Amino acid sequence: MTITTVGIDLAKNVFAVHGVDQNGRTVLVKPKVSRAALPELIASLPPCVIGMEACSGAHYWARLFRQYGHEPRLMAAKFVSPYRMAGKSGKNDAADAQAICEAVRRPHMRFVPVKDESQQAMQCLHRTRQGFIEEKTATYNRLRGLISEFGVIAPQSADALRHMVSVQKSSLPLQVQQCVDDLMEHVDRIEANITEYDRILSHIAKTDHRSQRLMELKGVGPTTACALVASIGNAHDFKNGRQLAAWLGLTPS
C-alpha cells in the first residue's frame, strides 16, 4: 500500500520512522535510522505528510523534506503526548514515531509554522542578543554582591552603580579592585556586542519587507519587528489574527 503519512521521532544521531497508508494501516517501521541514511529514506518515499515534534533541528528537516516534495508538519510535543502508548513499554523511539504519525493525522491538530533559514538566522541573533543582556545583568549583580561585602551598597541603576564604583573603588582592597576592573571590562565588551547586534537587526529590519510593514504599527521598532518575523514563521498558517494573537500569548480584544 502507498504511504501517505509518516511520523519521525527526531534525535541527534538515530531516528525512528513510522509510516501508514490512507487507511491508517502500518506499512513502514524503521526503529533505527542513522542521520546519514534518513534523507535517502525520505527521498525514496512518495509525496506524503511528514509529522515531527517541533524540537531542535525540526525546522531544518522540514525544509529538507519539503524539497523532496513532502508536506512537513511540526507539532508541539504536548499535543503528541496523548497519542503515546501507556506504560513503560510505550515510551521508546519507535512508539514515539508511531504516536507522532497518529497525531499528525488528527483533523484538529495545531501545527507549528515552518521557519525558513532567514527567519532562523534572525532568531539566532535575537537569542544571542538576549543572552548578552542577561549576562550583563548577571555581571552587574555579581559586582553589587562583591562590593557589598565591603560595605559599598550600590543602587539599582547601572549608571549609578558605575558612578559609585568609580568613587568608592580606591577604598577597596587591591584584589577586590582587580575583580571590579575585570567585571567592568566584561560589561563593556558585552555592551559593545549588544550595540553591534542592535545595528545588525536594525539593518535587517530596514531591508526586510515584512519587518517594514510591521514597523508601520504604533510602538513596533526594528528589534520587535525582526523578532516577530523570526518567531511567527508563515503567518498564513494562522486562520485569523485572533489565532496569531493567542499564539503570541496575547488576549485578543
Question: pLDDT tens for residues 141-184?
Answer: 999 999 999 999 988 899 999 999 999 999 999 999 999 999 99
Residue 98 dihedral angles phi and psi, to the nearest 5°: -65, -40
**Residue 16's pLDDT is what?**
97
Shared-domain flag, residues 131 and 223: yes
Inside any domain, residue 112: no
Does 132 share its domain with 97? no
SS3 string of the chain? CCCCEEEEECCCCEEEEEEECCCCCEEEEEEEEECCCHHHHHHCCCCCEEEEECCCCHHHHHHHHHHCCCEEEEECHHHHHHHCCCCHHHCCHHHHHHHHHHHHCCCCCCCECCCCHHHHHHHHHHHHHHHHHHHHHHHHHHHHHHHHCCCCCCCCCHHHHHHHHHHHHHHCCHHHHHHHHHHHHHHHHHHHHHHHHHHHHHHHHHHCHHHHHHCCCCCCCHHHHHHHHHHHCCHHHCCCHHHHHHHCCCCCC
Structure confidence at residue 26 as a pLDDT band (50, 70, 90): very high
pTM: 0.82
Cα of 198 vs its chain's centroid, Å: 19
Residues 66 and 170 in one domain: no
68 in a structural domain? yes
Kindly state whether residues 162 and 237 are assigned to the same domain.
yes
In this structure, is residue 111 part of a structural domain?
no
pLDDT value of position 250: 76
The pLDDT, as a whole number, for residue 209 is 87
Does residue 247 carry a pLDDT above 90?
no
Q: Which of 54, 71, 104 represents a domain boundary (last residue)?
A: 104
Look at residue 226 and tell me whether its pLDDT is greater than 80.
yes
Range of the domain at 185: 117-247
Choose among 44, 48, 55: nearest CA to 11.
55
Q: Is the pLDDT of residue 120 over 90?
A: yes
Residue with the three cell numbers 552587574: 140
Q: How confident is the model at residue 28 (pLDDT cuts 50, 70, 90)?
A: very high
Q: Give the contacts of 198 (CB within 8 A, at least 6 positions apart).
A: 129, 223
Q: What is the pLDDT of residues 86-95, one digit of tens each?
A: 655 557 889 9
Per the structure, the count of domains in the chain is 2
C-alpha span between 121 and 71 (Å, rounded):
23
Which pLDDT does position 242 carry in this prediction? 82
In angstroms, how far is CA 3 from the centroid of its own chain?
A: 31
Query: Which residue, chain included where needed, has cell 547586534?
Result: 197
Q: Is there a single domain that holds both residue 70 and residue 123? A: no
- Residue 149: inside a domain, yes or no? yes
> Are both 33 and 55 inside the same structural domain?
yes
Q: Is the pLDDT of residue 100 over 80?
A: yes
Q: What is the rounded average pLDDT of the residues 12-30?
A: 96
Q: What is residue 75's predicted lDDT score, i.e. its pLDDT? A: 97
Q: Measure the CA–CA gap between 225 and 211, rounded to whole angstroms.
A: 5
Q: Is residue 110 part of a domain?
A: no
Are 122 and 44 found together in one domain? Answer: no
